[in-house]
Amino acid sequence: MEEHQGKHSASHFYAVRAEKSTTPLQQAARTIYLNKTCYNGLFRLNSQSHFNVPLGKQTSPEIVQADRLRACAQALQGVDLACQDFRLLRAKKGDFVYLDPPYDGGYTGYTPQGFQKQDQADLAKLAFALHERGVKLLISNADTPFVRRLYGGETFRIEQVRGPRSLNCRGSGRKPAKELIISNTSGPSLAPLVIDHLTGRYGLDPSWGTLACAAWKEDL
């Protein structure tokens, strides 16, 4: 990472983007470097499954964050990470599962396959199956009639919040959007907890992965 920090430039960015890392360490360093320096931290693959996001406009990107990396490494001790189709998910009673799909009605072309209506329907089917298995669930998605129909009924609690948007190409377009927090908890409402995170109460980045999991852990 320090090597990437020292060499960072447009030419270095595109050279790293074009290369194929061979070891897990190189792959991790490449992924973090590209994420920290590409346009708005976006992840997107082209039709050949190659990362194709251009260089961002950051003047001084914070590429090396050693303390955070060490903290993440410590937190992930004994954890198995898998990159696979969500349909292959296996969870047992008492597990907590957070589902954060590409939002319905928005941009879904992060991979060549995209994320279609049928994928949204399959995800909802999985959520109902996990609920029947005794799995705790938290799901985020756009507030659209389609999503509300998918999760409607008595199984899930559906709450609306306004979440930040940072990937619009125009700054004026980065306005709060209506989003849904869907859960199968019978405890207190999650919406105020998420809003607290969005307003910086816990000093966390406004990303659903952080917000939702922190809200569940700390307050439920």
pLDDT (tens digit, 9 = 90+) per residue, 138-161? 999 999 999 999 999 999 999 998
Comparing CA positions, the residue from 124, 113, 166 lying closest to residue 146 is 124
- What pLDDT is attached to residue 167? 53
Helix, strand and coil content of the chain, in percent to the nearest 5, comes to 40, 15, 45
With a pLDDT cut of 90, the percent of the chain lying above it is: 61
Q: What is the DSSP letter of 179?
A: E
Read off the tokens for 188.
């207190």
Residue reference for tokens 């705790």: 136
Of the CATH numbers 3.40.50, 2.130.10, 3.30.70, 2.30.30, which one belongs to the domain with range 86-219? 3.40.50
Dihedral pair phi/psi, residue 93, rounded to 5°: -55, 130
Fold assignment, 2-75: Adenine-specific Methyltransferase; domain 2 (1.10.1020)
pLDDT of 74 above 80: yes
Mean pLDDT, rounded, of the chain:
84
156: helix, strand or coil: coil
Residue reference for tokens 């050693």: 66
Give the integer Cα–Cα distance in Å for 202 and 198: 9
What amino acid is encoded at 61 in this protein? Answer: P
In this prediction, residue 14 has a pLDDT band, given cuts at 50, 70 and 90, of very high
Domain boundaries, the chain: 2-75, 86-219
